[in-house]
Amino acid sequence: MGSLQAAYSEDKGSRLTMEDVAVISHKAGTSTTAGCRLSFFAIFDGHGGASVARYAADHLHGCIMAAGLQQEAERLAAAAAAAATAPAAAAPAAAAGDSPGAAQPAAQIKQCRAALAEGFRELDRRVLEQCAAAGWQDGCTAVVAYVVGDAVLVANVGDARCVLARQPQAAAAAPQGEQGRWRAPLKAITLTREHKAIFPQERQRIEKAGSFVSGDGRLAGRIEVSRAFGDRPFKRQGMTAVPDIQAFQLSSRDAFLLLACDGFWGVFSPQDAVDYARRELGLGKGVKQTCNRLIYEAIRERKCKDNCTVMLVAFGC
């Protein structure tokens, strides 16, 4: 699906400190996974401090790799190497879907999803140990996107979101080229689910854990989000770091991902953000410039007061 371009921009808004942490790693694998594209993108939105967000930014990817993503990437790298040296006569069978590679997407996604889930669990275990040892009381929400081969996996806890910009079927014949590809309309598809105590599914889970949601929608009357890393005081009251995970195979219709913290989504709807980014890219702005413009619009024009971070991952560049 071509190369990737990614960048992010941030502003602390009117807050005294910046508690968001962003990570971009285009080559997130190791020497043994060099034959498989493996890229990692994430935003960690801290609350009550930045200690947990910084720790998560430093360690989540390692936890996920150790949980099985390393092994899956090695398998894909080996498959890619084998395909590159396979006799030409094998091509018809592969095209017909008779080769083991034909089942690769479903198996690949299943293994990668399991690695993400286990990696989140292991990171939170380590975070809670750090919280106990260092006296941290803070926590962080997170949104993470992996590109593994031609698969995209998105995981989140809390209210940070990821949105996919996809070309509708009807616009499949849109003009191409550096700027022409941005003329066609793009549909915003939200890939994450917000985890707030006020939502019925989360409220039910919290109440089953023996805690409560206050009238203003706060877990134990204290905190709005119901899933996060850290937040040690709330972990026995229904707070969890179990992520929601979405996965899909990239297609030529997929233009870019937008990852952002809740401050950004408080002033931009998903479709509004996709339209704004598409216009900037269509004007010849680069990925970094587009992120800068999105943050300027959020903070200066739309008056976001919170920490604000947005990341753009463009496909096929």
209 belongs to a structural domain = no
Within-domain flag for 263: yes
Residue 44's closest CA among 24, 74, 63, 29?
24
Q: How far apart are the first and last CA of the chain?
A: 9
Angstrom distance (rounded) from CA 48 to CA 125? 19
pLDDT at 73: 82
214 assigned to some structural domain: no
Q: What per-residue confidence (pLDDT) applies to 150?
A: 86
pLDDT of 127-174, one tens digit each? 999 999 999 999 999 999 999 888 899 999 999 999 999 998 755 555
Sign, CA dihedral 301-302-305-306, equals negative
Mean pLDDT for the chain overall: 89
Q: What is the pLDDT of residues 36-57, one digit of tens each?
A: 889 999 999 999 999 999 999 9
Listed in sequence order, the residues at least 6 apart from 212 whose beta carbon sits closer than 8 Å to its beta carbon are: 206, 220, 221
Q: In this structure, is residue 20 part of a structural domain?
A: yes
Whether residue 276 is contained in a domain is answered as: yes
Count of CA atoms in the C-beta half-sphere (13 A) of 237: 20
What is the pLDDT, as a whole number, of residue 124?
99
Q: How confident is the model at residue 83 (pLDDT cuts 50, 70, 90)?
A: confident
Please give the Cα distance from 64 to 115 (Å, whole number): 6
Domain with residue 278: its CATH number is 3.60.40.10
Q: Is residue 175 pLDDT above 60, yes or no?
A: no
The rounded distance, in Å, linking the Cα atoms of 197 and 216 is: 10
Q: What is the pLDDT of residue 209?
A: 93
Instruction: With a cut of 50, say whether residue 24 has pLDDT above it.
Output: yes
Alpha-carbon distances, residue 166 vs 74, 121, 271 (angstroms): 29, 31, 11
pLDDT of 15 > 90? The answer is yes
How many Å apart are CA 106 and CA 110, to the nearest integer? 6
Query: Is pLDDT at 212 greater than 80 in this prediction?
Result: yes
Burial of 189 (0-12, 13-18, 19+ CB in 10 A): middle
Domain count, the chain: 1
C-alpha 234 chain-centroid distance: 24
Containing structural domain, residue 71: 4-87+100-158+160-193+227-315
Q: Which amino acid is at 302?
A: R
Whether 97 has a pLDDT exceeding 50, the answer reads: no
Q: What are 231-259's pLDDT values in tens digits?
A: 999 999 999 999 999 999 899 999 999 99
> What per-residue confidence (pLDDT) applies to 129?
98
pLDDT band at 176 (very low <50, low <70, confident <90, very high): low
pLDDT over 50 (residue 119): yes
Q: In 3D, which of 32, 48, 16, 33 has the Cα closest to residue 140?
A: 48
DSSP string, 202-262: HHHHHHHTT--B-TTS-BTTTBSBSB-EE-GGGTTTT-B-PPEEEEEE--TTEEEEEEE-H
* Domain assignment present for 200: no
- If you search the block for the tokens 């609350």, which residue do you land on? 47
Instruction: Assign 166 to helix, strand or coil.
Output: strand
The pLDDT > 70 percentage for the chain reads: 88
pLDDT band at 98 (very low <50, low <70, confident <90, very high): very low
Whether residue 1 has pLDDT greater than 60: no
3-class DSSP state of 302? coil
Task: Tell me, yes or no, whether 148 lies in a domain.
Answer: yes
